[in-house]
Amino acid sequence: MVTVENLVFVGIAGLVTALATGLGAVPFFLVEEVSDRWNVVLWGVASGIMLSASVFGLLVEALREAGGSPLVVGAGVLAGVVLVVVAHDVLVDTEIDPREYAEADVRKLVLILGVLTVHSFPEGVAVGVSFAELGLDGGVSVLGFSVPVLGVFMTVAISIHNVPEGVAISIPLRSMGVSEPKMVWWAVFSSLPQPIGAALAFASVRSARAFLPAGFGFAAGAMVYLVVTEFLPEALATGRDLPRGGVPELAAGIAVGALGMMPLFVL
């Protein structure tokens, strides 16, 4: 059963992850730019976190819910990948200039929201399905709610992952002369589909428990695909002028991200 209180709680968790994207703009209050080396490391940390969360969090939970049967989980994984691929192919040639946001007409705003949804919505889904056990026995107490450990895990993971995305969004805004407060706003704006995706995914899996394994698989498939096709290539493109193409920095970041999440697996 989906209660308003639970739905609001999950939406707030999704909003927390969106607000974390704004942290990526904070360094620009202090420095003119973030070095390529640190950008590569941050992308590596984000990739390690998301791969760890997807494999050891979402997929393990999906198989547990499915009774060890990989078919439903595999179908969910495939659906997650297909949705991201199709959505990306539809919008891949779209060029978005942040300076046009305030002057955009309805059609342009719909297009902008579509681009943002492709990148942020799957992360919101991951948060939403991870809260499927919200209010049930066995969780940790947060603000009077019994919160599943997986929900805490995914909220922390997505929030940390969103920081380097905020940096990546802020770099071109800086070159356009956008002020620091507006950089924070546009970074957060880019992740606003996450609380929406979190609430919708939570309501779906909570209303139809049978879809939970597929929901976990869907979120994991979408996240792993995004890491492999976007995060890692972005990191390597950023580090192409570094010694050895930035590969050591990327590998170190991945290791830090993956190992840093390990304590949450034993909660």
- Compute the Cα dihedral for 16, 190, 171, 223 and give only its sign: positive
Its pTM stands at 0.77
d(CA 72, CA 78): 10
Residues 136-192: tens digit of each pLDDT: 766 777 777 788 888 888 898 889 888 888 887 787 777 777 788 888 988 888 888
Bridge partners of 141? 146
Residues 56-90: tens digit of each pLDDT: 888 888 888 887 678 888 998 998 888 778 766 66
- Residue-level pLDDT at 102: 45
The range of the structural domain enclosing residue 48 comes to 4-265
The upper half-sphere exposure of residue 129, i.e. CA atoms within 13 Å in the direction of its Cβ, equals 28
- Residue-level pLDDT at 11: 92
Residue that the structure tokens 């309501």 belong to? 203
- Res. 98: pLDDT tops 60: no
Domain count along the chain = 1
- Res. 222: pLDDT tops 80: yes
